[in-house]
Amino acid sequence: MKRFAKLLCALTAASLVLAACAGTPPVKREAGKTYTLTVLHTNDHHGTVLPNGGQAGLAERATFIAGVRAAGGNVLLLDAGDINTGSALSNMFKGEIDIKAYNMMKYDAVAFGNHEFDHDLSLMKTQKKLAEFPFLSANVTYADGKYLGKPYIVKNYDGFRVGVFGLTTLRTLEIASPDKSLKFINEIDAAKTMVEQLRDKEKCDIVIALAHLGDVLETDDQVTSVKLAEAVPGIDLIIDGHSHTKMTEAKFVGSTPIVSANEWGKFVGDGTFSVVDGKIVSFDWKAVQINAKDAQTYAPDAAVAAMIAPYKEKADASLKAIVAKTSAKFEFGDKLSRKKEIALGDMVNDACIWYFKDKLGKDADFAFTNGGNIRTELPAGDITQEQITTVLPFDNWLYLTKMKGSDVIALFEFIASIKQGAGGWAQVSAEARFTIDYTNPDKGVLKDLTIKGKPVDPNAVYTIITNDYLMGGGDGYKALANNIDSYNTSTTLRDVVIAYAAEKKVLTPATDGRITVIGGMQF
């Protein structure tokens, strides 16, 4: 009997293997009938819980999505990654608000973006448990080969079947802090495997790549969504994330459309497939703006707003909490951050160096920001988050970028050329030291530039921390375009300084001569 039981088990196992190899039968459909699917999608949410400048907001997004669903038809709701890391409200509760809102909106799947790896595995596991949707990535596994999330999902609709697989950029290994036990597979190799699985075995009529790759080339070996489309046939739609690209129409690579909905939930991508006899006959796409500074088209969804409210109340109370003390006032005077080295400018940039090294494990050669980013003094005594927010009111994201030494010299030559009093006049971290000679009446001249105590080597590569405004060419910083690698850390300068102040407990204003001014305005 035991022998017969073992034989029966073996035959049963073999039949299951054969069934798996045979694949899933196609869905039933009516010949010649046109079926449709609406695909709604977002990407690079980055903790934008509340409207930013009148746009976006989770509750407002929920209203739009509910309206599309109420109109009837098949709706698939997806996100291409980077839910985490952004606003102080989201950061404070470690993405809990955002995931709960995604649950309420009934997202079908979310790709792992690089910022999902900003924290340890325990938080990722907590977020996965909280989520009522699967996190997708076909190219990230545990050491034993098991997928970190799900590699793909399959959705059956009347008349057709859809397969969605996730991809996470390998840039994550450089720009985030994934657990050392995790393995990252080449994105193209993983995609080829997924297309074969979804087409041949799952019998999917539509295959969608939910790809946190970006369409902007950051390094020569980066696999972008464009490279993916070129290398992997059989993908019917690539929903892209990572580069925060704002599209007004789909970008076609061959017959494969690539779409992206910008960032922060300011837009929701809205695409429609028409399918006849299991074949796609058309795809239309648009980006829907979720409100504007002067026009609220979508009011907040009451249920989502009610869920957010107690979190916001707790966060607002924390703004009044004392995070540190100052031994004396950090002066600002008549916009001195635009005219000379000041203690407040030193502290802000030194905070960046500290945060990136201690919290993110990234070594930078120096940090700098525009003096116009600093708006007022920091008084003596107890300091609250609200006061630091007043000093740094802008939602400036910090970038980590690399430049050749020759371009670093050109950058500082531009800095020296900025007239005192202009918002672009730079404040720097302790690693950078230089002189600006204003005795030339035409413009300042750069002298004695050193980084970490040494003259800049034109052939070396330097790692720099600065803000998104300057990276975008703000205040004339076109020199930053000559970088060889850069990425948005989606960490705000304000949050970094708050964390630094809390760590140090007591802040003492002091300057150390990192910027010397000859001639010009003297104080």
Tens digit of pLDDT per residue, the chain (523 long)?
333 343 333 333 333 333 334 457 889 999 999 999 999 999 999 999 999 889 999 999 999 999 999 999 999 999 999 999 888 889 889 999 999 999 999 999 999 999 999 888 999 999 999 999 999 999 999 999 999 999 999 999 999 999 999 999 999 998 787 999 999 999 999 999 999 999 999 999 999 999 999 998 877 889 999 999 999 999 999 999 999 999 999 999 999 999 999 999 999 999 999 999 999 999 999 999 999 999 999 999 999 999 999 999 999 998 888 999 999 999 999 889 999 999 999 999 999 999 999 998 899 999 999 999 998 999 999 999 989 988 998 888 999 999 999 999 999 999 999 989 888 999 999 999 999 999 987 789 999 999 999 999 999 999 999 999 999 898 889 999 999 999 999 899 999 999 999 999 999 999 999 999 999 887 7
Return the CATH architecture of domain 27-313. 4-Layer Sandwich (3.60)
Please report the pLDDT score of residue 239 as a whole number: 98
Structure tokens at 298: 């979508």
Task: For residue 507, count CB atoms less than 10 angstroms from its CB and return exposed for 0-12, middle for 13-18, buried for 19 or more.
Answer: buried
321-518 has CATH 3.90.780.10 classification: yes
DSSP-H helix ranges across 232-342 = 302-319
Which residues touch 514 (CB under 8 Å, ≥6 apart)? 341, 346, 428, 429, 430, 432, 433, 434
CA distance 77 to 63: 14
- Residue 355: what are its φ and ψ, rounded to 5°? -65, -45
Q: Considering only CA atoms, which of 148, 212, 210 is closest in space to residue 178?
A: 148
DSSP-H helix ranges across 221-300 = 225-231
Please report the pLDDT score of residue 93 as a whole number: 93
Element (H or E) spanning 486, and its range? Answer: strand 485-492
Boundaries of every domain in the chain = 27-313, 321-518
Residue with tokens 């038809």: 73
- Residue 95, CA atoms < 13 Å, CB-side half-sphere: 25
CA distance 397 to 493: 6
Please report the pLDDT score of residue 81 as a whole number: 97
Residue with tokens 């949707």: 133
Please report the pLDDT score of residue 23 as a whole number: 54
Please report the pLDDT score of residue 17 as a whole number: 34
Q: What is the dihedral of CA 67, 72, 76, 81, to 10 degrees?
A: 0
Helix (H, G, I), strand (E, B) or coil at 397: strand
Helix (H, G, I), strand (E, B) or coil at 445: strand
Q: What share of the chain is helix, strand, coil (3-state, %, to 5)?
A: 35, 30, 40
DSSP single-letter state for residue 173 = H
CA distance 261 to 243: 10
Structure tokens at 216: 């902007």
User: Which runs of E-coded beta strand occur in 296-430?
Assistant: 322-326, 366-370, 381-384, 397-404, 426-428
- Residue 451: what are its φ and ψ, rounded to 5°? -125, 120
Per-residue exposure over 394-432, b if at least 16 CB sit within 10 Å of its own CB, e if not = bbbbbbbbbbbbebbbbbbbbbbebebeebbbbbbbebb
Strands 135-136, 34-42: pairing is unpaired
